[in-house]
Structure 1
Amino acid sequence: MPTKFDSIRQFYDSEVNDALQSISNHPMMKALMSFTFPDLDEAVWMEQLKRTHSIRDFQVNFIYQSIQRVLERSSEGLTTSGFEKLDPSRSYLFISNHRDIILDTSLLNVSLYDHGQIMTASAIGDNLVQKSFLLALSRLNRNFLVRRGLPPRELLQSSKLMSEFMYHLLSKENRSVWIAQREGRTKDGNDATHQGVLKMLAMAADEKNVMEFFRKIRVVPVSISYEYDPTDALKMPQLMAEANDEVYIKEKNEDFITLISGIIGQKKRIHIHVGDILDKEYDKIIAENDNTNKQIQALAQVIDDSILSTYKLWPTNFIAYDLLHNTDQFASKYSEKEKQLFERRLEMRLGNEKETLRDSFLAMYANPVLNKMKYGNVD
């Protein structure tokens, strides 16, 4: 039966098998499966796809395995902390910093599954799934669409629909939801929650005080950090344009190239930390702020405090800080070999643009150190 969410929702389980059959012969599906199951004959995974009738089965039997291969090929492992605070029977709204288009949410889901928790439905920009295969694959992974580039009136209607859908998932289906703290990935390493994201979420609130709405949907800040950002060099042109007060115009297929680079590019170590479930913070916010705008602003700061203070710093962050500031303040945090490897990466990624882009590249890695220093717990 049609619902008002049909234009943005993931597939229902009753639609999964047909969707899988429609893409099973697609060259990109075959490439994904041969990457995931290099030792299996095509007929074997094809047969298993024919027997797959739910998103969970597809995620657990196929996509979970794909992400394990990605971790094996392009990282030195994923570590986690904080998941023990979650109740396996409850849904949560995870708000995280945003580094990589696909992996942020995929790695969170892998971690949730490993800890026996409810996996998430996740927001994805419709600009990233223009190709019919990618749209089908995203809906099979429980992604719902965020519509981009709309005129103001349509944007308002679209935001309201998305807010209602997320609330429906959390409250009626007991399904956890992931959303990034801002539109688009952080380009300069400064993670900050955009108030517009929180205002959009609050559109579904029927409470007089929106903080009670946020308490009800159980907001959990999440920090994710990669030792190497696999798309670091790809972020440089936009940073340069912004530094020169120029309007940045994306190249054709840029989103797709970034998406693939994030998956296959070298990341070294990765860490995901689940923060405390926000609760008592709302009482303080309500007591200290007399209107909704101020309360939203205060909530954004609470989320930022959680993400920035628990962000895992790597040797690359400390090396970049020392190089950028021409100091050896954090020399004890890395070896000479690690420094040489990072400097070689800098050379290789920037090439002839090294002089122009050096500081921007270093700042991307150094800013998390600066941000964490504000909390006095740089480690």
Structure 2
Amino acid sequence: MSKFDHIRPFYDSEVNEALRSVVHHPMMKALMSFTFPDVEDEVWAEQLKKTHSKRDFQANFIYSAVQKVLEKSSEGLTTSGFEKLDNHTPYLYISNHRDIILDTSLLNVCLLDHGLIMTASAIGDNLVQKTFLRVLSRLNRNFVVQRGLSPRELLQSSKLMSEYMCQLLTRENRSVWIAQREGRTKDGNDATQQGVLKMLGMASDEKNIMDFFKKLKIVPVSISYEYDPTDALKMPQLLAQSKDEVYVKEKNEDFTTLLSGIMGQKKRIHLHVGDVLDTELDAITATQENANKQIQALAQVIDDSILSTYKLWPTNYIAYDLLNNTSRFADRYTEKEKQVFLRRLEMRIDIENPVLKEGFLAMYANPVVNKMKYQDA
């Protein structure tokens, strides 16, 4: 027994048995029929039964599934920055968080395309309650983040997670993806939670925490969708916050959001990987002695990378102009694009409700506000 057994993905030696246990599951049939619509069930079922590694499962099945999602729900994925990375080096990708499943799936598609090491990725246990989803996530190299723990359990769980990620990166030559914050951003303001970095640092045996982070080879990632397919689903939480109410999720809300995120219309998507953080960490060490201040400075460095390289779309500029009652960025979009955005706004929320209208627009406008801190958007 390994101490990581209850959170880790399958070992390759367990993959074939796991696949055989779910090959006839209705959700596997749905996934495969969607991915390979012209292929007979027996054909993909036989191929699954011959699969013995996570990489083969990802490269031969999940890769095609993500391509199909892009074909059906987007106008294409563009990338930048990957050419700077080394094919044999594992990296710790810290990413802004827009979509539960797609953020990490798209990154892995890009890594595979560029011949880079794919990631093990963090996923909340609230998303893998169903047995099939749990098996699928472990086949897809996800490790489980436990939610809803007491403070004492949370501390133990965080230590274990930190040790596991450190082991993957430094001993198993495996890249890791983790979101910069717990939960998706609801308002378009991407910010790194210091708690995430403190959790990562728990496995450090270095005197200076920045030396430890240097070993992990942090690469900030910014991902932007022209349309957020879950934009309207985020509104009830914003409404509750505006009334100082505690927001309680509906029974199947996570699963609904998961499906909407995958199949909802996104139009264009861009994924940028930043430079490996290195000299920035030396600068933090040179200017900050206090460990908390160093973590704070590191969060800022990650934010600077993500926000300054975030790809802005016409929808972002339209929302900024509508929210601020200006035409400042009118040259960045067409009248037709504006009308399409307005129609979406009217169809998805009650525009008579100022909280909802402002919240919806701010979600798209905030990336512009954030980028303006670095350049004139």
- TM-score calculated relative to the size of structure 1: 0.99
Residue 10 (str. 1) matches residue 43 (str. 2): no
**In structure 2, what is the equivalent of residue 308 of structure 1?**
307
**In structure 2, what is the equivalent of residue 261 of structure 1?**
260
Contact 1:309 1:377 in 2 (8 A): no
Contact 1:211 1:295 in 2 (8 A): yes
Q: Which amino acid aligns with 1:179?
A: I
Structure 1 CA distance, aligned partners of 2:36 and 2:376? 42
1:285-307 per-position Cα deviation (integer Å, ceiling 9, x unaligned) = 01111110000000000000000
Long gaps (5+) in structure 1: none
SS of residue paired to 1:91? coil
Contact 2:74 2:268 in 1 (8 A): yes
Give the CA deviation at 1:245. 1.3
Q: Which amino acid aligns with 2:113?
A: D
Structure 2 CA distance, aligned partners of 1:124 and 1:291? 31
SS of residue paired to 2:198? helix
**In structure 1, what is the equivalent of residue 223 of structure 2?**
224
1:303-349 per-position Cα deviation (integer Å, ceiling 9, x unaligned) = 00000000000000000000000000000000000000000000111
Relative to structure 1, the CA distance from residue 166 to residue 42 in structure 2 (aligned partners, 3 Å threshold; closer, same or farther) is same
Q: What percent identity do the matched residue pairs reach? A: 76
Residue 34 (str. 1) matches residue 4 (str. 2): no
**In structure 1, what is the equivalent of residue 189 of structure 2?**
190
**In structure 1, what is the equivalent of residue 138 of structure 2?**
139
SS of residue paired to 2:275? coil
**In structure 1, what is the equivalent of residue 114 of structure 2?**
115
Q: Which amino acid aligns with 2:228?
A: D
Structure 2 CA distance, aligned partners of 1:67 and 1:152? 37
**In structure 1, what is the equivalent of residue 166 of structure 2?**
167
Structure 1 CA distance, aligned partners of 2:355 and 2:75? 31
SS of residue paired to 1:204? coil
**In structure 1, what is the equivalent of residue 331 of structure 2?**
332
Structure 2 CA distance, aligned partners of 1:377 and 1:179? 29
**In structure 1, what is the equivalent of residue 24 of structure 2?**
25
Give the CA deviation at 1:354. 4.8
Long gaps (5+) in structure 2: none
Structure 2 CA distance, aligned partners of 1:24 and 1:242? 43
Give the CA deviation at 1:377. 4.4
Contact 1:199 1:296 in 2 (8 A): yes
**In structure 1, what is the equivalent of residue 128 of structure 2?**
129
Structure 2 CA distance, aligned partners of 1:184 and 1:299? 20
**In structure 1, what is the equivalent of residue 175 of structure 2?**
176
Structure 1 CA distance, aligned partners of 2:51 and 2:281? 43
Relative to structure 1, the CA distance from residue 352 to residue 314 in structure 2 (aligned partners, 3 Å threshold; closer, same or farther) is closer
Structure 1 CA distance, aligned partners of 2:30 and 2:141? 21
Give the alignment of 1:193-208 within 5 angstroms: 193-208=192-207
**In structure 2, what is the equivalent of residue 349 of structure 1?**
348
Give the CA deviation at 1:351. 4.0
The range that moved more, 319-328 or 243-252, is: 243-252
**In structure 2, what is the equivalent of residue 69 of structure 1?**
68
Aligned length: 377
- Structure 1 runs (4+) deviating above 2 angstroms are 351-356
- TM-score calculated relative to the size of structure 2: 0.99
1:227-248 per-position Cα deviation (integer Å, ceiling 9, x unaligned) = 0001000000001111221111
